[in-house]
Amino acid sequence: MARYTLRRLLLMIPTLVGILLLNFIIVQAAPGGPIDQMLARFENADAMASTRLDTGGGDITVSDDSRGARGIDERFIQQLEEQFGFDKPAHERFLGMLADYATFDFGTSFFRDRPVIDLMIERLPVSISLGLWSTLLVYLVSIPLGIRKALRHGSRFDVYSSGFVIVGYAVPGFLFAILLIVLFASGAYFDWFPLRGLTSPDFAELSAWGKVKDYAWHMTLPVLAASIGSFATLTMLTKNSFLDEIHKQYVLTARAKGADERRVLYGHVFRNAMLIIIAGLPAALVGIFFTGALLIEVIFSLDGLGLLGFEAVMQRDYPVIFGTLFLYTLVGLVLKLVSDLTYVWVDPRIDFATREA
């Protein structure tokens, strides 16, 4: 198993390189790069200055020698290309990026003038908080509910609970977030929770218990909004997995031998039924941690990695785009490996090393 783990870790390197190369090509081909973004900012600034001068009254006019009137100086564009590294061929920039990423040096943001690693570390606690508590809530509710539905398959409880979880799945997370804000944070009905942020302004002055309560107070609505869409998938997956295992021959044999029902359920069925749920855990974690919470972060003004990556794409901030992409890919690959190792822990009969050989 150690050899298999080492081989999987080594395979992460070409996988990361391939994904970065593909996205590097796509991003380079997209119109409106960082230089165009910077020039547009200068042109907009000149236009606003011209408007202020023209509408200020008196005889003040804009000289024809201004940058807005005569266009952008070519030397200035060359300076921008040197600053952003676009004076080098694309392959040199990509190889240089790989060399830097090998030491986790993600460069400096084009428009924030801060190291990308600092920006990600600053935003990471927000995404981890939202993703961790959302995942925990979903699994704590969905797995027991799915088992209960499997044991009472076809009953009223099964039918009514299926209706609730499917309705929850049909409601988009951002729409549910807005509904929660209107009901519980806007003051139109109730004013129980804050509208924005992860903590209160006076968080540092609170006691330890006060900090815990303040943190929970701020996270309640975002976590509920981020979790609502995941309940149905995991609940129905758990139910169907348990139904499939309950009707297998080994369960009937265990019951015929007089084994206790609880022992049959949790000693035999549970371990086998949970395999398919464990297989989907990496994708669920990556989705909730990074991609699924983007609109939730925007609605509740939570500065997480999802919002950081979205802003970087809109601004063509290449270092931030590739830095966050590298982090997403690395975390996804590591979680996939953890998923396979957990497979073996749950069911020792599974041997990935032998299968690959």
What counts of helices (H) and strands (E) characterise the chain?
A: 18, 0
Contacts of 45 (CB under 8 A, 6+ apart): none
Banded pLDDT at 350 (limits 50, 70, 90): low
Please check the confidence at residue 348 and state whether its pLDDT lies above 50. Answer: yes
Q: What is the CATH number of domain 120-356?
A: 1.10.3720.10
pLDDT per position as a tens digit, 316-341: 888 888 888 888 888 878 877 877 77
What pLDDT, on the 0 to 100 scale, is given for residue 48?
59
In order, the DSSP letters of 147-193 are HHHHHTTTSHHHHHHHHHHHHHHHS-HHHHHHHHHHHHTSSSS---S
- pLDDT (mean) for 49-75: 49
> Looking at 51-60, 84-93, 99-108, 285-294, which range is the least confident one?
51-60
Please check the confidence at residue 293 and state whether its pLDDT lies above 80. Answer: no
How many residues make up the chain in this entry? 357
What pLDDT, on the 0 to 100 scale, is given for residue 290?
57
Percent of the chain with pLDDT over 70: 76
Please check the confidence at residue 7 and state whether its pLDDT lies above 80. Answer: yes
What pLDDT, on the 0 to 100 scale, is given for residue 61?
40
293 vs 150, which has greater pLDDT? 150
Q: Which residues on adjacent β-strands are paired with residue 115?
A: 108
Banded pLDDT at 69 (limits 50, 70, 90): very low
The overall average pLDDT reported for the chain is 76
- pLDDT (mean) for 289-304: 73
Please check the confidence at residue 183 and state whether its pLDDT lies above 80. Answer: yes
What pLDDT, on the 0 to 100 scale, is given for residue 60?
40
- pLDDT (mean) for 288-310: 74
Its pTM stands at: 0.70
277 vs 179, which has greater pLDDT? 179
What pLDDT, on the 0 to 100 scale, is given for residue 25?
86
- pLDDT (mean) for 67-71: 42
Name the residue ranges covered by the structural domains of the chain.
120-356
Does residue 2 contact residue 308 with C-beta atoms inside 8 Å?
no
294 vs 222, which has greater pLDDT? 222
Angstrom distance (rounded) from CA 225 to CA 169: 11
153 vs 82, which has greater pLDDT? 153
What pLDDT, on the 0 to 100 scale, is given for residue 282?
65
pLDDT per position as a tens digit, 214-263: 888 888 888 888 888 778 878 888 888 888 888 788 877 877 877 777 77
What pLDDT, on the 0 to 100 scale, is given for residue 67?
37
**Sign of the C-alpha dihedral, residues 238, 239, 244, 246?**
positive
Q: What b/e string do you get for 323-346 counting C-beta neighbours within 10 Å, with b at 16 or more?
A: bbbbbbbbebbebbbebbebbeeb
What pLDDT, on the 0 to 100 scale, is given for residue 66?
37
What pLDDT, on the 0 to 100 scale, is given for residue 39?
65
